[in-house]
Amino acid sequence: MDLDLLGFGTRFCSVQFPPSHTFRVQTGETGEGEQPAQGGWDPPVRPPPRTLMFLWEQIHGYDLLKHPRYVSSQRIAVFLSMHDEVHTEQILHDVFQQKKTCFVPRYDSSSSHMDMLLLRDLQDLETLPRTAWNIQQPAGGDTSREEALDTGGLDLVLMPGLGFDRSGRRLGRGRGFYDTYLQRCRRRGEEAGPYTIALAFREQLCTEVPTDPHDQPVDQVLYEE
């Protein structure tokens, strides 16, 4: 299904990376669509105006909430957005409305360590402090929250990023938080690990993303077309 909101001619698409890493673009329920235009690697673009960010949030949420992986998942990790990332508030609302179990990241700024800690409800979200990066996360001394890997693992991880390419490679912010965490998932006995979906703006799709050997590819990218 193509979406056209407010007459912008906007379509919402997904790029899925099967095990063979064949590049494929899907447009809702209509099957394969057109490949996005390919260009060289560019530095991350400036964040869109707030009004357009809101439009993209609605498109991402509309599509993700019907995604079979999202619908079937009960334990979901959701990133809490920075100002230049796809906003996840709508997703958080639906996670709790559907009575799924929600986990959010707590980053250790002194290392590449990250935990996915239980978020109890939307009121709990409002109490979370902000880091120097202006990201909400559970306080460092908060030991009352369960960590996802200690209590059953994760079905789905929603991931941010600065850039993505046709092989599913992802450029983060250089600390390796998600790469390290996904490796921990596999060491805990989840051979395949949780399914990963990145939420992106179309400008973040690139011909090739520079990566290191430890970088973990994503399973699928949802982006605004």
**Looking at residue 189, what is its pLDDT?**
64
Give φ, ψ of 196 to 5 degrees.
Answer: -120, 130
**Looking at residue 84, what is its pLDDT?**
82
**Looking at residue 154, what is its pLDDT?**
95
Long-range contacts of 51-54 (CB under 8 A, 24+ apart): 53/86, 53/87, 54/87
What are the 10-residue block averages of pLDDT along the chain, 225 residues in total? 29 47 32 38 47 52 84 97 87 96 94 94 96 90 94 94 84 83 80 85 86 84 78
Q: Which two tokens stand for residue 179?
A: 């790469």
Domains of the chain by residue range: 12-133+145-224
Q: What is the CATH number of domain 12-133+145-224?
A: 3.40.50.10420
How many residues appear in the chain?
Answer: 225
pTM exceeds 0.85, yes or no:
no
